[in-house]
Structures are given as structure tokens and as C-alpha cells.
Amino acid sequence: MARKYFGTDGIRGATNRKPMTAEMAMKVGMAAGAHFRRGDHKHRVVIGKDTRLSGYMLENAMTAGFTSVGMDVVLLGPMPTPAVAMLTTSMRADLGVMISASHNPFADNGIKLFGPDGYKLSDADELAIETLIDSETALAPSAEIGRARRVEDARGRYIHFAKSTFPDALRLDGMKIVVDCANGAAYQVAPSALWELGAEVIAIGVTPNGKNINDGVGSTAPEALCETVVASGAHIGIALDGDADRLIVADETGRVVDGDQLMAVIASGWARVGRLQGGGLVATVMSNLGLERHLAAQGLGMIRTQVGDRHVLEKMRGSGYNVGGEQSGHIILSDYATTGDGLVAALQVLAELARAGAPASEVLHRFDPLPQILKNVRFGGGAPLEDAAVQEAIAEVEAELYGRGRLLIRKSGTEPVIRVMAEGDDRAQVERVVDRVCDAVRVAAA
């Protein structure tokens, strides 16, 4: 059954436009609260948010919804998404909520829900909540309306947790680190955790005003990070996104290190000490073929999934892997967290750097990425991928790339666009085959 409100990562949209309105937020609170009221115990939900202006509106609306169906609300304030997942379990809550649109501009916002186990909700739970949103939810009797309180030490709890993932035998003394918090949820916790571990911290993207989240800073705009690293003579720079579940790194020369390289660093390090489970890692179809070849040379495997961290996590849980992620920097380390955690992933990278005693430019670039080209073809309707000429072009290109590259074609789930991606050893060949398939799609869509 198709979902009406939930997308691949919760409910998301432009604020004060459907579905991201205060009215919808209250309905989601009522529906999710009713769905997770199971048993006779006093029910509790924790709510975190990033630094968007609209977070105040949505937080208050969701609080009204949850308390109206008898759930107590614990307000965390600005906190990373992984912190909300962690605190949901540690506080024995029945439900966790993160109000964030991740790396999107400030005008967008979203609602992510976590179950009592700290994992994002299943499709079945989301469908059940959608049904309740569109129906009349039973309200609690007057004497059973929930209460709301704010927890003042939530940041300290998460900092302690994050630091606990860093090896006890190591410190960051003498390491100068630039940290870019995207003017988002980690603007306080990330610099504090790094400083407490001994680093000299230069923090940027730590002055949120409600409207500047992800604006020229953060993992999706690493230019500011790279410039600051070079100008300050830092050893390394780390950039998080608005809700701090993604990580991108810059070495001391200002060169960007993406999620594929970071997964290679972590997986290789964990394999060396016998910590890596599953004999490899889980990545998506977008991860570079160079990563797959690099791992294979070490006797490690790589399983690919559809794009989206929930698909990565599902495969990790089902197949016994403890490292997985996306090229974009959404890295999941299931020994520590139930979702991507940019700060925890950064600490694992910093641990490898501290052990190596070598510059980041030598430690973090583990393989040469193959040329990878992605182009989008917009279409007005129909099913161009089912056209005979398109299928013929795809078959011919796949045969041409066999053993030397790969072709990936997928229809966007959010807009009328066909995405055509190819990679291989020969850039000219990759460009030519991508254009060939795109041309065939355009003709079919005309």
C-alpha cells in the first residue's frame, strides 16, 4: 500500500504548507501517541529538533497532540537525530521524535519517528499512523492528559555517549580540528565533545539564527570547511549536516573526503582489529566502484542496497553487518547507534588518524574513485524506461561496460525524473554511454 504522508525518511515539506503545518504536526502527535499507547504503564515520548525557526511551532503542536492522548512529553531542545534515537531507549520512552529536514534549507522541516528500540519506524507502523491521522483519534480523559517537561542535561548525556565510543587509550591532544556544525542541531555538542577529548577546536557554523541552517555551511557545502582548514593550518576538518547524521571530512590540504572513503577507513580499521562483522560493509547503489574494488583487494565484501539509509540499515540488521552507509556521508555504525551519527563516525575516523600518526591526506584517501557521471532526464508522463529503444540502448551499454564499469538507471521517487548514472575506468566512455541512454530516454519521453 502506498504511503500518503510518510516518505523515505519521515514526513517532510515546506513549512506552513501541507503537509508540514502545525495542524498536521498535532495530528501526527495524536496518531503516533495513540498507536504507541500499549499497556498500562505511563507513556512517554521524547522530542528533539534542529535549529529551524519553524521548530518552535512544530514542537508545540506535537506536544499538544501527544499530551491530548495521554502521553508525557520530554523536550530535548536542539539535538542531533542520533541523540534523539539514543535518548529514546535510555529514557525508556515509547516513542522518539526528531523535528528536522536534515540537509534541506531552513524553510523546509520534517518529522522523523523512532520506536522504543531507537530504530526508525517500520512501514507497518507508519501506515497505521497514517490511518489514525485521517480518522478521529480518541482523546484522553481530563485526569489523564499528559504533562510536558524540558530536560536540561540532554546535551551532556549525548556528549558522554559520543565520547564513550572513542578508544580509551587514545586522546586528541595536539590535533587541531575544524568542525562545521551547519548552524544546526550539533552546534553545541560536537565542539564540546572534541574539546573534552583534548583537541584544539575551531568551530564554524555554530551561530544558528533560525534561518541559516545549512546555508553555505555543513556537509552539503564543504567549501567553508576546506577554506578554514587550510587558513588555520588544521590537521583535519569535519562537517555535519543540519541534524548531524551525516559526515564529510576535509584533509589538511582542503581536499574533501566523502562517505565512501570514510567507510573504507573505518571498515579497514575495524577489520584489522577483528571488529568488523559480516566480512565487509553495506553501501548503496551510488557508492563508487572504486570502494568495492578496494575492499575486495583486502578480502572484504560489499553489499549494495537501494538509495536511503533505511535500506542500508535493514540489510545490516538482516545480514549481520556493523558498518554501512552512503556516499553522502550517512554512516551507520550499529555497534553504537541505531541510525547514522556524524559525530560518532567522525570519532572513529579521528581514532584511525591518531593511531596512524600521519597526515589526513595520507590516511583518509584509500582508493582512487572511478569517474562517475550522473545526469537527470525530466519527462512529462508515461513509462519511458519500458520503451523498446530505451531497453535496447541500456542492454548495449551494459554489455559495453561489462567488467570495466557499471550502469545505474532509476526513476526518482520525488519528481518526474529518470536518473542515469554510469562509472568506469574510461571517463570518455562513461560520458558517452550516459549521453546515449539519456538521449534514448528523451526520445521515448517526447
Helix (H) / strand (E) containing 67: helix 54-68
Q: Which residue has the cell 480518522?
A: 135
164 is a catalytic site residue: no
Closest CA to 210 of 188, 228, 184: 184
Between CA 33 and CA 19 the distance in angstroms is 19
Amino acid 334 reads: S
Q: How far apart are CA 232 and CA 217, in angstroms?
A: 17
Using alpha carbons, select from 438, 437, 428, 413 the residue that is nearest to residue 3: 413
- Helix ranges (H only) for 221-337 are 223-232, 259-272, 289-297, 309-319
Distances (CA, A) of 41 to 31, 38, 44, 71, 94: 18, 8, 9, 10, 10
Cβ-based neighbours of 26, under 8 Å, separated by 6 or more? 61, 62, 64, 65, 68
Question: Which one of the listed residues 54, 100, 102, 268 is annotated catalytic?
Answer: 102
Residues serving a catalytic function are 102
